[in-house]
């Protein structure tokens, strides 16, 4: 029952907002998000780290379609659920100083989004997964469209069509798999796994690409990324946070939960290609980040670089790589959230995101500076920050997979320093100018958002063990199952 509560409580809260349109929608939304966080923490306390998928529920829904409301939580799901339930309250809180028009709709959409995200991470039925996947697109689309910046119509349309087109590939793939299941057909995860694994090499190849394109667009991985910088830049900041902090992890999760176990043969065939594409993307996006003038756009590209490394690590099909990906997803989520919030804070006070127009903020805002520095260090993967744990494991995995690729992927720690230090210098150091001279340091509400995040960045960096332990057994199970398949195939 806890799982259902976890999924549908945010939806209930969202409906409440949509229907009753309370005066202080943001407070209601925050309370709902906090309750959701508590629910997820209850699940954490009851979670058995060594066990199989838990808290499972399997209710036939539309039996004629083979669709059932089948959900369960294993370590991989739990970490991403946690990321979602931890970040959403912060995202809501980060909007408190801003007054959005139609607040009930705005916060209702955020909570709807949360429902869909949690659903994606716990679904154990192919069609259910697909439904949540698509439902997640709708609220974020409206958030960007209604509250976005300049040229939002064109950009959000592109975003919508692009990701929708990707998902259709996935749908085709899933339906194809469905027809391969025995008997009266089902979308149940285990049946799909078995169906996929029994396919011929060619079929697995095709299916690999159908699913890969869908997930790659969502992450996004080079060269499927061009919707992302524009969308991140034009979205209201809470939208950007949802997209970059949580939603892109849907794509990565999709690879881990669906792509790899469904078509291990396809992955064996195309894994190297995927790693190469991802590594190219790391360098490509890092280089482009170096020359960005807009702060938000720069972080958007840096996010593509970080995600490229995660993707490369996953396709090495090693425990180090996937564990690294898990921890890096969390780390990237909180760091990118903090970075976008810092950008918003600076934009709010100076009305600009152009780096050359900023500068000298350090003179007047020492607290913001400290927060920025720690977040930046997390982003460039300095040891004892969360970013290091993930990136070290990922580079380690890619290096073991193919040493030259590992070395190239490792260049990210140099290029990351190049663009992040430059950004920090341009925005924060030097003398103040007329835009920044009256800059006000962090307010209490802003501290309330950023302090916990900064503490988390360091805490996860120094003691990541509890998180790594959560997903360990699920990752091992996954790898064990696919090695079994490849072993029996030989």
Contact status: 455 vs another protein (CB under 8 A): no
Find the binder of another protein among 347, 384, 458, 481 (CB under 8 A): 384
CB 46 within 8 A of CB 148: no
Contacts from 254-257 at CB under 8 Å and sequence distance 24+? 254/133, 254/170, 254/211, 254/214, 254/215, 254/218, 255/212, 255/215, 255/311, 255/314, 255/315, 256/76, 256/314, 256/322, 256/325, 256/478, 257/76, 257/77, 257/129
Residue 143: which residues within 8 A CB-CB, separation 6 or more?
106, 109, 110, 113, 235, 236, 238, 239, 242
Find the binder of another protein among 46, 202, 273, 400 (CB under 8 A): 400
Find the binder of another protein among 334, 464, 470, 478 (CB under 8 A): 464
The contact mask relative to another protein for 15-54 (x = CB under 8 A, - = no) is ----------------------------------------
The contact mask relative to another protein for 227-246 (x = CB under 8 A, - = no) is x-------------------
Contact status: 435 vs another protein (CB under 8 A): no
Q: Give CA angle at 110 (109, 114), nearest 5°.
A: 115
| Choice between 38 and 161, CB closer to another protein | 161
Question: How many whole angstroms separate alpha carbon 71 and alpha carbon 258?
Answer: 14
The DSSP call for residue 411 is T
Helices 264-290 and 412-428 meet at what angle, rounded to 10? Answer: 40
Contact status: 392 vs another protein (CB under 8 A): yes
Find the binder of another protein among 15, 198, 430, 481 (CB under 8 A): 430
* Strand pairing report for 54-62 and 67-73: antiparallel
Rounded least distance, CB 97 to another protein, Å: 23
The length of the chain, given as a count of residues:
490
Helix (H) and strand (E) counts for the chain?
Answer: 22, 2
> Using CB under 8 A, which residues numbered 135 to 174 contact another protein?
138, 141, 158, 160-162, 164, 171
Rounded least distance, CB 204 to another protein, Å: 21
CB 191 within 8 A of CB 180: no
Indicate the SS3 state at residue 61. strand
Give which of 125, 122, 117 is closest to 11, Cα–Cα: 117
Rounded least distance, CB 98 to another protein, Å: 25
Find the binder of another protein among 24, 52, 366, 483 (CB under 8 A): 366
The contact mask relative to another protein for 68-107 (x = CB under 8 A, - = no) is ----------------------------------------
CB 225 within 8 A of CB 78: no
Question: How many whole angstroms separate alpha carbon 169 and alpha carbon 209?
Answer: 8
The DSSP call for residue 356 is G
| Choice between 345 and 413, CB closer to another protein | 413
| Choice between 130 and 253, CB closer to another protein | 130
Find the binder of another protein among 42, 383, 438, 443 (CB under 8 A): 383
| Choice between 20 and 463, CB closer to another protein | 463
Find the binder of another protein among 3, 114, 318, 375 (CB under 8 A): 318
| Choice between 5 and 373, CB closer to another protein | 373
Q: Which residues bind another protein (CB under 8 A)?
A: 64-65, 138, 141, 158, 160-162, 164, 171, 175, 178-179, 185, 223, 226-227, 284, 287-288, 290-292, 318-320, 323-324, 327, 360, 362-363, 366, 377, 382-384, 389, 392-393, 395-396, 399-400, 406-407, 410-411, 413-414, 417-418, 421-422, 425, 428-431, 462-465, 468, 472
């Amino acid at each position: 029952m806890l799982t259902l509560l976890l999924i549908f409580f945010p939806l209930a809260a969202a409906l409440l907002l949509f229907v009753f349109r309370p005066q202080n929608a943001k407070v209601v939304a925050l309370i709902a998000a906090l309750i959701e966080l508590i629910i997820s923490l209850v699940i954490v306390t009851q979670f058995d780290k060594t066990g199989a998928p838990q808290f499972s529920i399997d209710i036939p829904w539309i039996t004629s379609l083979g669709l059932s409301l089948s959900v369960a939580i294993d370590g991989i799901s739990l970490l991403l659920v946690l990321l979602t339930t931890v970040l959403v309250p912060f995202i809501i809180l980060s909007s408190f100083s801003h007054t959005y028009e139609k607040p009930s709709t705005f916060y209702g959409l955020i909570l709807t989004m949360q429902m869909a995200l949690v659903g994606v991470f716990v679904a154990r039925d192919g069609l259910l997964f697909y439904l949540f996947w698509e439902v997640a697109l709708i609220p974020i689309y409206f958030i960007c469209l209604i509250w976005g910046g300049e040229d939002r119509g064109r950009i959000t349309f592109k975003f919508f069509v692009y990701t929708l087109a990707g998902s259709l590939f996935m749908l085709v793939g899933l339906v194809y798999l469905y027809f391969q299941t025995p008997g009266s057909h089902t979308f149940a995860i285990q049946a799909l796994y078995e169906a996929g694994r029994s396919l011929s090499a060619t079929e697995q190849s095709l299916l690999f690409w159908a699913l890969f394109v869908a997930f790659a667009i969502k992450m996004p991985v080079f060269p499927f990324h061009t919707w992302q910088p524009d969308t991140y830049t034009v979205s209201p900041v809470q939208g950007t946070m949802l997209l970059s902090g949580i939603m892109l992890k849907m794509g990565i999760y999709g690879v881990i939960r669906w792509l790899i176990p469904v078509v291990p043969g396809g992955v064996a065939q195309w894994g190297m290609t995927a790693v190469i594409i991802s590594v190219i993307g790391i360098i490509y996006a890092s280089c482009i980040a170096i020359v960005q003038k807009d702060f938000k756009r720069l972080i958007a590209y840096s996010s593509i670089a970080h995600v490229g490394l995660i993707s490369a690590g996953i396709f090495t099909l090693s425990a180090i790589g996937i564990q690294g990906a898990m921890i890096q997803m969390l780390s990237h989520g909180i760091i990118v959230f903090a970075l976008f919030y810092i950008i918003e804070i600076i934009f709010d006070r100076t009305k600009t995101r152009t780096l050359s127009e900023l500068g000298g903020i350090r003179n007047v805002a020492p607290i913001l500076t400290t927060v920025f520095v720690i977040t930046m260090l997390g982003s460039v993967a300095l040891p004892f920050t969360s970013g290091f744990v993930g990136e070290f494991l990922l580079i380690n995995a890619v290096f073991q997979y193919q040493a030259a690729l590992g070395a190239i992927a490792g260049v990210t720690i140099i290029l990351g320093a190049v663009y992040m230090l430059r950004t920090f210098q341009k925005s924060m150091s030097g003398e103040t100018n007329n835009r920044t001279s009256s800059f006000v340091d962090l307010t209490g509400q802003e501290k309330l958002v950023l302090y916990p995040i900064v503490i988390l960045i360091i805490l996860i960096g120094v003691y990541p063990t509890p998180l790594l332990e959560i997903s360990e057994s699920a990752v091992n199970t996954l790898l064990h199952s696919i090695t079994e398949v490849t072993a029996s195939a030989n």
